[in-house]
């Protein structure tokens, strides 16, 4: 045997794989170092033993017959093709192997050479790869949204269960490998999508166009009425990944929100409408109460005695209080509902403060309080504010300072810049506010203990002031010391660009008398309410030089105005038939009546009502209840 071994030995030894040579009975003749290392036996332990010892115990019994069948038809082939082969080490552990067998005829008979390769490492890598793929596949599969991947030739390579549900329900076999267009067309044919508001062709084209150039998202609906959002993106390998998300809940949520907003807006509009008409309804009777009370107070022909005048003052005060309450509540609800328009513009404080002080002066005089306007430095900047609303706030602070002031006290206004804001402070030396009441003072209807006292108030003024200041990007605050006085301030943004200082204009001095040049002025009053007509008659009677004629409807009024061409028209807005707005529009259309001044008179006191009146062509718009002084001043001005 040793003679024949030699040529083998070197060849076998040089092989990189494990090599074992057996005789036809399976007895081991030759083993190389790699085979000995692989199985953990020394060569001596192997040579002369049967090859079966290297086969796992479980299959060892059949191995003899395999050897026998190989030796009857020997040829070069891999062993156990299609089977997972394992080798058994000396320590009993097993490892996967690949074996190729080759027969060799020698002078000693048939011998079998087995090339053995340990494939543990390869198996391990394959297992890892398989596991990774399985992880990915099951991860994609558990996503509730559709996930599909198309390769660079636009063929489906991967789709999860949701995607199969959506696209592949009608495909008998797998849809993997099908082109995108086919998958989509088939799904369309199976009724997966709803294209009822377009044609099938346009739906298909819409999606295919998106697929060709996927930007943003594509929204579609399923045949079962669900809303889907498709997002496709190109992969680095020029494939396409498509994700389809069910957004039905979002869409429904958005629809519900939209519907809720509509309801809320309608409710808010209804509330506005209600407040407007409520205020109108409340103001109309107040008009008669306050109007006639004022006339009684001013009656020169039959003057009231002191006792009567005293009682009348209560009527007037009560009426005025009620009116303020209505106005405040209305104002506050408008602000709360976000329904007031604030228009900020550069405002010079000199004029505003002068007007506020002159308006408050009569009240201060009655209360025996001195009120002084601010001494403004020449370089006092202008503020960015809604002029009317800023005045309203300052009026509120100022009237409170008087109301809660002490007899013989002082109220003053101070102005100082604080960075980008200008602070206007109203200082009084009045009763002050108890410390325990200070935190709630800007809340509605909080009167800081005054509710039981004799000073009239609604407790809304400061709330409105605060809200208005905030709407103008400002703020309000105060300091107070009980028994010593209070200082209420508003900070308001300064106009940033350099602007020329506003000119100081003195407040208009009001004259309650209608100046006449001896001629009589004809005034037409269009009004349907008899008590209002009676009031106006009484009022005008006191004014020399005016002749009043009245008309109960706009239609009759227009006839009268065209026929008589009066110097001035006073027009109610809510009239039976044609409204005051339409009537004034007609007057503005005719050349002969175009220039006649028209005063609108209405119980509607909202900001938008005033704006509408201005747009309609009224020269002035006064609200009921009529303030006698205001009306006579307006008449004087327009007749002059």
Binding site for ligand ADP (CB under 6 A): 396, 400-401, 404, 428, 430-433, 441, 447-448, 450, 457-462, 486, 488
Around Cβ 537, how many Cβ atoms within 10 Å?
12
CB nearer ligand ADP, residue 87 or residue 461? 461
CB nearer ligand ADP, residue 279 or residue 486? 486
Scan for tokens 């049967």, then name that residue.
50
Task: Extract the tokens encoding 293.
Answer: 């009370």
Task: Report CA torsion sign: 552, 554, 555, 557.
Answer: positive
CB nearer ligand ADP, residue 19 or residue 329? 329
CB nearer ligand ADP, residue 115 or residue 432? 432
Q: How far is the CB of 408 from ligand ADP (least distance, A)?
A: 16
Residues 6+ apart with CB under 8 A from 281: 603
Scan for tokens 């810049």, then name that residue.
417
Residues 6+ apart with CB under 8 A from 32: 12, 13, 15, 18, 19, 20
Prior bond of 54 cis (ω within 30°): no
Q: How far is the CB of 604 from ligand ADP (least distance, A)?
A: 24
Supply φ then ψ for residue 73, to 5 degrees.
Answer: -130, 70
CB nearer ligand ADP, residue 329 or residue 401? 401
CB nearer ligand ADP, residue 344 or residue 431? 431
Q: In what order do the strands lie in the sheet with 568-572?
A: 546-551, 521-526, 568-572, 598-602, 620-623
Identify the three-state secondary structure at position 148: strand
Q: How far is the CB of 389 from ligand ADP (least distance, A)?
A: 15
- State the pairing for strand pair 521-526/568-572: parallel
**333 with 271: CB under 8 angstroms?**
yes
- H helices of 243-337, in order, are 248-298, 306-336
Task: Show contacts of 431-437: CB within 8 Å, 24+ apart.
Answer: 431/404, 431/405, 431/406, 431/482, 431/483, 432/480, 432/481, 432/482, 432/483, 432/484, 432/485, 432/486, 433/478, 433/480, 433/482, 433/486, 434/482, 435/482
CB nearer ligand ADP, residue 51 or residue 448? 448
Task: Report CA torsion sign: 194, 195, 196, 201.
Answer: negative
- Distance, in Å, from the CA atom of 333 to the CA atom of 322, rounded to the nearest integer, reads 16
Around Cβ 291, how many Cβ atoms within 10 Å?
24
- Nearest residue to 432 via CA among 370, 484, 367: 484
Q: How far is the CB of 407 from ligand ADP (least distance, A)?
A: 14
Residue with smallest beta-carbon separation from ligand ADP: 457
Q: How far is the CB of 317 from ligand ADP (least distance, A)?
A: 14
Scan for tokens 């703020």, then name that residue.
475
Half-sphere exposure in the Cβ direction for 606 (13 Å, CA): 21
**220 with 230: CB under 8 angstroms?**
yes
**30 with 12: CB under 8 angstroms?**
yes
CB nearer ligand ADP, residue 34 or residue 428? 428
CB nearer ligand ADP, residue 373 or residue 552? 373
- Distance, in Å, from the CA atom of 60 to the CA atom of 260, rounded to the nearest integer, reads 80
Q: How far is the CB of 463 from ligand ADP (least distance, A)?
A: 6
Q: How far is the CB of 276 from ligand ADP (least distance, A)?
A: 23
Q: How far is the CB of 399 from ligand ADP (least distance, A)?
A: 8
Q: How far is the CB of 458 from ligand ADP (least distance, A)?
A: 4
**566 with 520: CB under 8 angstroms?**
no
**140 with 159: CB under 8 angstroms?**
no
CB nearer ligand ADP, residue 477 or residue 597? 477
Q: How far is the CB of 480 from ligand ADP (least distance, A)?
A: 7
Half-sphere exposure in the Cβ direction for 114 (13 Å, CA): 29
Q: How far is the CB of 599 from ligand ADP (least distance, A)?
A: 31
CB nearer ligand ADP, residue 95 or residue 442? 442
Supply φ then ψ for residue 418, to 5 degrees.
Answer: -135, 90
CB nearer ligand ADP, residue 460 or residue 468? 460
Q: How far is the CB of 430 from ligand ADP (least distance, A)?
A: 5
Q: How far is the CB of 583 from ligand ADP (least distance, A)?
A: 38
Q: How far is the CB of 431 from ligand ADP (least distance, A)?
A: 6
Q: How far is the CB of 410 from ligand ADP (least distance, A)?
A: 12
Q: How far is the CB of 334 from ligand ADP (least distance, A)?
A: 17
Around Cβ 375, how many Cβ atoms within 10 Å?
10
CB nearer ligand ADP, residue 87 or residue 432? 432
Q: What helix, strand, coil percent values describe the chain, rounded to 5? A: 45, 20, 30
Q: What is the 3-state secondary structure (H, E, C) of 371-432?
A: EECCCCCCCCCCEEECHHHHHHHHHHHHHHHHHCCCCCCEEEEEEEEECCEEEEEEEECCCC
CB nearer ligand ADP, residue 12 or residue 433? 433
Identify the three-state secondary structure at position 295: helix
CB nearer ligand ADP, residue 370 or residue 594? 370
Task: Extract the tokens encoding 123.
Answer: 């198996």
Instruction: Compute the chain's Rg from CA coordinates.
Output: 51
**206 with 218: CB under 8 angstroms?**
yes
CB nearer ligand ADP, residue 115 or residue 459? 459
């Amino acid at each position: 045997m040793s003679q024949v071994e030699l040529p083998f030995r070197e060849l076998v030894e040089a092989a990189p794989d494990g090599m074992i040579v057996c005789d036809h009975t399976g007895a081991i003749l030759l083993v190389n170092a790699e085979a000995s290392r692989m199985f953990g036996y020394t060569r001596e332990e192997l040579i002369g033993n049967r090859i079966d010892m290297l086969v796992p115990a479980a299959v060892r019994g059949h191995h003899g017959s395999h050897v026998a069948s190989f030796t009857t038809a020997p040829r070069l082939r891999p062993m156990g093709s299609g089977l997972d082969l394992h080798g058994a080490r000396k320590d009993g552990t097993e490892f996967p192997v690949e074996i190729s067998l080759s027969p060799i005829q020698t002078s000693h008979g048939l011998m079998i050479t087995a090339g053995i390769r340990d494939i543990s490492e390869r198996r391990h890598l394959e297992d890892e790869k398989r596991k990774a793929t399985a992880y990915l596949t099951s991860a994609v599969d558990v996503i509730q949204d559709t996930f599909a991947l198309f390769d660079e030739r636009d063929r489906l390579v991967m789709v999860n269960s949701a995607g199969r549900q959506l696209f592949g329900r009608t495909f008998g076999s797998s849809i993997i490998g099908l082109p995108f267009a086919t998958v989509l067309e088939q799904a369309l044919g199976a009724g997966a999508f709803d294209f009822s508001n377009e044609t099938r062709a346009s739906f298909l084209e819409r999606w295919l166009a998106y697929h060709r150039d996927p930007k943003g998202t594509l929204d579609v609906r399923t045949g079962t009425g669900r809303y889907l959002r498709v997002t496709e993106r190109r992969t680095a390998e020029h494939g396409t990944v498509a994700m389809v998300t069910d957004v039905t809940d979002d869409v429904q949520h958005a629809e519900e929100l939209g519907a809720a907003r509509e309801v809320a807006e309608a409710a808010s509009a209804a509330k506005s409408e209600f407040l407007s008409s409520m205020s109108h309804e409340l103001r109309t009777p107040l008009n008669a109460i306050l109007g006639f009370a004022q006339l009684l107070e001013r009656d020169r022909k039959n003057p009231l005695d002191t006792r009567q005048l005293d009682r009348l003052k209560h009527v007037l005060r009560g009426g005025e209080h009620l009116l303020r309450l209505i106005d405040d509540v209305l104002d506050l609800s408008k602000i709360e509902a976000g329904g007031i328009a604030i228009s900020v513009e550069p405002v010079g404080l000199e004029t505003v403060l002068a007007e506020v002080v002159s308006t408050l002066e009569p009240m201060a005089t009655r209360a025996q309080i001195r009120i002084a306007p601010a001494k403004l430095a020449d370089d006092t900047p202008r503020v960015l504010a809604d002029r009317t609303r800023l005045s309203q706030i300052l009026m509120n602070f100022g009237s409170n300072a008087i109301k809660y002031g002490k007899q013989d006290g002082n109220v003053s206004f101070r102005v100082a810049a604080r960075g980008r804001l200008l602070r206007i402070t109203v200082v009084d030396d009045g009763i002050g506010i108890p410390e325990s009441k200070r935190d709630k003072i800007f809340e509605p209807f909080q009167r800081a203990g005054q509710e039981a006292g004799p000073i009239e108030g609604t407790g809304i003024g400061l709330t409105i002031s605060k809200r208005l200041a905030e709407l103008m990007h400002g703020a309000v605050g105060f300091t107070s010391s009980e028994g010593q006085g209070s200082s209420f301030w508003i900070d308001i943004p300064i106009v940033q660009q350099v602007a020329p200082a506003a000119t100081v204009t003195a407040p208009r001095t009001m004259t309650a008398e209608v100046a006449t040049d001896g001629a009589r002025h004809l005034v037409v009053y269009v009004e349907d309410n008899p008590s209002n007509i009676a009031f106006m008659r009484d009022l005008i009677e006191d004014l020399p030089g005016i002749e009043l004629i009245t008309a109960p409807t706009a239609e009759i009024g227009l006839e009268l105005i065209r026929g008589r061409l009066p110097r001035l028209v006073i027009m109610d807005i809510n009239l039976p038939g044609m409204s005051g707005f339409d009537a004034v529009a007609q007057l503005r259309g005719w050349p002969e009546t175009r220039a006649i001044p028209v005063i609108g008179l209405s119980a509607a006191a909202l900001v938008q009502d005033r704006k509408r009146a201005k747009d309609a062509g009224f020269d002035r718009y006064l609200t009921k209840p009529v303030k006698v002084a205001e009306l006579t001043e307006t008449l004087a001005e327009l007749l002059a």
